[in-house]
Structure 1
Amino acid sequence: MSEPNVAADQLRLFIERIERLEEEKKGISDDIKDVYLEAKSQGYDAKTMRTIVRLRKMEKHARDEAEALLETYKAALGLG
């Protein structure tokens, strides 16, 4: 009979860990938002900064492919 109790305790511990991590994630998300607001107050464009952050996360070959595709689409639409 102790196995169901052990399983329930283990499940509860997992749930509590997830809840703590979710709370930490929210705090970090708020901190990131604050940095963007601070940068915006200094005259930087937050949308462009977000794009740069996203691009820096990508591997070089994936970034090159995405940029080439964007240029192709822009040229096709006369935006080049």
Structure 2
Amino acid sequence: MSSENVSAEQLKLFIERIERLEEEKRGVADDIKDTYAEAKANGFDVKTMRAIVRLRRMDNNARQEMEALLETYKAALGLEI
């Protein structure tokens, strides 16, 4: 077997694995979409839920820094309640 055949076979295996993972990713994305739709049907605000998910994904320090900066900008624009 030449090195071209080995490389081609290895490349084929990588491509097939990526294709399988992409299909799984589409399935997970569909599940997430369905979950948001279910939450919306139960009266939850999906936009707010997405914001919460984004915040929970952040590192605690980064989240605190972002929230402080947001408060500073809100105050500068007179958006404080």
Give, in whole Å, the separation in 1 of the partners of 2:37 and 2:29.
12
Partner residue of 1:27? 27
Give, in whole Å, the separation in 2 of the partners of 1:28 and 1:42.
21
| TM-score normalised to structure 2 length | 0.95
Deviations 1:27-54 (A, max 9, x none): 0000000000000000000010001001
Regions of 4+ moved over 2 Å: none
Partner residue of 1:46? 46
Deviations 1:45-76 (A, max 9, x none): 00100010010011111100000011111111
Partner residue of 1:16? 16
Letter in 1 for 2:24: E
Partner residue of 1:36? 36
Give, in whole Å, the separation in 2 of the partners of 1:18 and 1:40.
33
Deviations 1:4-38 (A, max 9, x none): 00000000000010011001000000000000000
Give, in whole Å, the separation in 1 of the partners of 2:14 and 2:68.
44
Alignment: residue pair count: 80
Shift of 1:2: 1.4
Q: Unaligned 5+ residue runs, structure 2?
A: none
Give, in whole Å, the separation in 2 of the partners of 1:30 and 1:79.
37
Q: Percent identity?
A: 73
Q: Unaligned 5+ residue runs, structure 1?
A: none
Letter in 2 for 1:16: E
Give, in whole Å, the separation in 2 of the partners of 1:12 and 1:2.
15
